[in-house]
Chains A and B, each alone.
Chain A
Amino acid sequence: MRTSARVVPLRPRAGPKAEARPPDETLHDARDGFLVALARVLEKGGAGLDWARLAEAWSALYFAWHSEEVDEFGYDPKFTRTILPLFEFLYTMWWRVETSGVDHVPDQGPALIVANHSGVLPWDGLMINLAVRHEHPARRHCRMLALDMFALLPFLAPLLAQSGAVRANQENGERLLRKGELVGVFPEGVKGVGKPFKERYRLARFGRGGFVRLALRTGSPIVPCAVVGAEEIHPKVASMDWLGRPLGLPYLPITPTFPVLGPLGVIPLPTKWSIDFADPIPMAPYGPEGAEDPILVNRLSEQVRSTVQHMVDSRLARRRSVWFG
């Protein structure tokens, strides 16, 4: 065992300097990958546990699927690429998402996708993200604004941030739109995502019009978006909110599979989904001062809500089966 701990393998970046190191220094290079690093730890075998090498192995495991640099909101492209296959499976095989009108999303510049929220867990946000990422000609990355209940939840919060979601508030939304990003938002909030099964596809109030003010202030067009199929993935037939509240959850649902099946109950049901985008509603004509006009804000908010409701209704009218569309 090494007598003195050798710390600081803050790993050098890729470049000619990496080759310049003496041979034994390559141990510090986590780019060898986790298995190589682990093999080196085990190679020592009876020589005892080498903390320095164990730390390197751990670091290699971490950076095998995390970037060393993230954007200012914590979005980690490498982590997203790593978990993307799982989400693509859900998109193509599990829910067989059918999209229409994705061309209505602008190719560049700021825009706000406004959708109905449902499904107990925020899978709909993820699927909208994938719809734009895969089906839109510009392959844009949509930054979803996540509700506090998800964005502040331990374990889920870092995952959401790494996959590009941002906690929903005016400051964050404005910063993203001013950078010209595509932003997705669910104005129904908790009332939408946690609504009981019998109220499915009836859109809740669109908050207090915060999303309209955001769009007006930044001059971003609003793209209404309707998700059908997500209401049935976790049918919330009853709830145990009294149990959820001490855990920091606004609701704790009872579904046909949860909590009866335990952890398996978290697996969403394989319904057939559709995601429809409508014509963008331009906000620039009203000017940023429109954000101070509560009547205008309410009118636009209601216009977007009824558009989304109408899109949901027309999709439902055409739908024959929850499972096969």
Chain B
Amino acid sequence: MTSGRTAVTGIASLLGSRVLRRLAEVRPPESLLAVDVAAPPPALGVRHRPLDFTEPASDQRLLELLREEQVETVVHAAFFTNPRRDTGYAHELESIGTLNLLAAAAAAGVQRVILRSFTAVYGARGHNPNFLTEDHPLQPEPGLAWVRDKLEAEQHAAAFARRYPGMSVTVLRFAPLFGPGVHTFYTRVFDHRVVPLLMGYDPLVQLLHPEDALAAFVAAIEQAPGGAYNVVPSRPIPLLTAYHLAAKIPVFVPHPVAYAGADLLWAAGLGAAPGAFVDYVRYLFVADGEKARQRLGFVARHSSRDALSAYLRYRHPHAGWQAAEATS
């Protein structure tokens, strides 16, 4: 349907690599382009154009590249799922990198930009409604660098969408991925027997199966409707129920201790995430997938429970759990 090329960034990330692979299956490989420091798997036959978004003047190089290759669609998936200690690098890649990418795309006359984002950008707040719609203000915890960079990337995208009406910018806010192949700081919690939990809180969480994420991503690339879309599983699950389904032994931690303890462990180089992430297991940040259903035709095939059980089967295939128990 598109004559021009599609460039994919962040191909070393879980979603980026899967999107590239899926596109290579359904489209001629010469219509695709991997723009990343990392090279794509040679078997895909997708051309690699190395580019580091954190370098100065990367926007100039990207502009030349996009013009040269006659790129029509840019899929931007170069974001870190795990928090990083070198927040400066993450900021350069995610916030500034997205700004540069959007500037180059606008100058090169790219028609469609698809941006990977996170439902975490809404921020986990006590006062959130149970279902966050796309027009809900983005108010994440300002002290958390991980989410601030994602928020800034979204703000750049919104600003460019306003300034260049000819360029459609589609933002996909994915719920936390959970399932086969997902290795993140929050899935690793489920690799332990004894797991911490906040005392007195049991929020509903959304766990998105990567297959659903991929289906939504491909639908958005094909339709490029513009605007923001939540991509969420069919049902949320209470955190404590998830722990008990996985037969974990929860250890209840009072929340003031949790914030301080997580910060301390993070500072000591032992923790997986800074204390501000405790908000995400304390309060709701459940997003509403209705807009994606209506405009993208995307309906998640898996619930949060399915995603959890798929992940556990994948991590512990010999544990006696009867496979293929997936919901109808």
Binding site for B on A (CB under 8 A): 5-13, 17, 20-22, 25, 28, 51-52, 54-56, 58-59, 62-63, 66, 68-70, 72-74, 148, 152, 154-155, 157-158, 161, 166-167, 169, 171-172, 175
Contact = CB atoms under 8 A, between A and B. Distances in A.
Q: Which of B133, B238, B325 has the most CB of A within 10 A?
A: B238
13 contacts: A7-B319, A10-B309, A12-B322, A13-B325, A17-B322, A55-B193, A154-B199, A154-B201, A158-B201, A166-B130, A171-B130, A171-B131, A171-B133
B202 interface: yes
Interface in B179-207: 191, 193-194, 199-202, 204
A204 to B, nearest CB: 22
B290 to A, nearest CB: 10
Contact of B193 (A52, A62, A66, A169): A52
Interface in B293-328: 305, 308-309, 312-313, 315-316, 318-322, 325
B244 interface: yes
B29 interface: no
A8 B129 contact: no
A169 B136 CA distance: 14
Given A69-B235, A152-B126, A171-B129, 14 more contacts: A6-B316, A7-B315, A8-B319, A8-B320, A9-B320, A51-B194, A58-B247, A58-B250, A59-B244, A68-B241, A70-B241, A148-B126, A152-B127, A172-B131
B255 interface: yes
A172 B130 contact: yes
B202 A158 contact: yes
A203 B326 CA distance: 52
Contacts, number: 127
B305 A69 contact: yes
Contacts of A152: 126-127
Q: Which 8 pairs between the two chains have the least Cβ-Cβ distance? A: A154-B200, A171-B129, A8-B319, A158-B202, A8-B316, A155-B200, A55-B247, A8-B312
B126 A55 contact: no
Given A58-B244, A58-B249, A158-B201, A10 B308 contact: yes
A54 B232 CA distance: 33
Contacts of A9: 246-247, 319-321
At the interface, is chain B mostly helix, strand, loop or mixed? loop
B241 A66 contact: yes
A167 B247 contact: no
B248 interface: yes
Contacts of A13: 325
Interface in B234-269: 235-238, 240-241, 244-250, 255
A148 B202 CA distance: 16
Interface residues of B, number: 41
Nearest to A76: B238
B238 A59 contact: no
A311 B12 CA distance: 67
A6 B319 CA distance: 6
Contacts of A158: 200-202, 238, 240
The CB with the most chain A CB atoms within 10 A, among B235, B236, B240, B241, is that of B241
Contact of B249 (A21, A51, A72, A155): A51
Most A CB within 10 A of own CB, among B133, B204, B240, B321: B321
Nearest to A175: B131
A125 to B, nearest CB: 17
Contacts of A157: 200-202
Max chain B C-beta neighbours (<10 A), residue from A6, A10, A74: A10
A175 B289 CA distance: 13
B247 A52 contact: yes
B130 A6 contact: no
Nearest to B314: A8
A147 to B, nearest CB: 12
Most buried by A among B130, B250, B255: B130
Contacts of B129: 167, 169, 171-172
B321 A8 contact: yes
A197 B267 CA distance: 51
Nearest to A66: B241
Given A9-B247, A21-B322, A72 B201 contact: no
Contact of A62 (B133, B194, B244, B321): B244
Contact of B247 (A21, A28, A70): A28
Contacts of B194: 51
Given A12-B322, A171-B131, A62 B248 contact: no
B131 A68 contact: no
A206 B275 CA distance: 40
Interface string B115-137: 00000000000110111010000
Nearest to B308: A10
Of A52, A55, A70, A169, most buried by chain B (CB within 10 Å of CB) is A55
Contact of B235 (A56, A63, A72): A72
A40 to B, nearest CB: 13
A285 to B, nearest CB: 28
Contacts of B201: 154, 157-158
A5 B245 contact: no
Contact of A17 (B191, B318, B325): B325
Residue from B127, B131, B247 with most neighbouring chain A CB atoms (10 Å): B247
Contact of A68 (B199, B202, B305): B305
Nearest to B127: A148
A213 B247 CA distance: 45
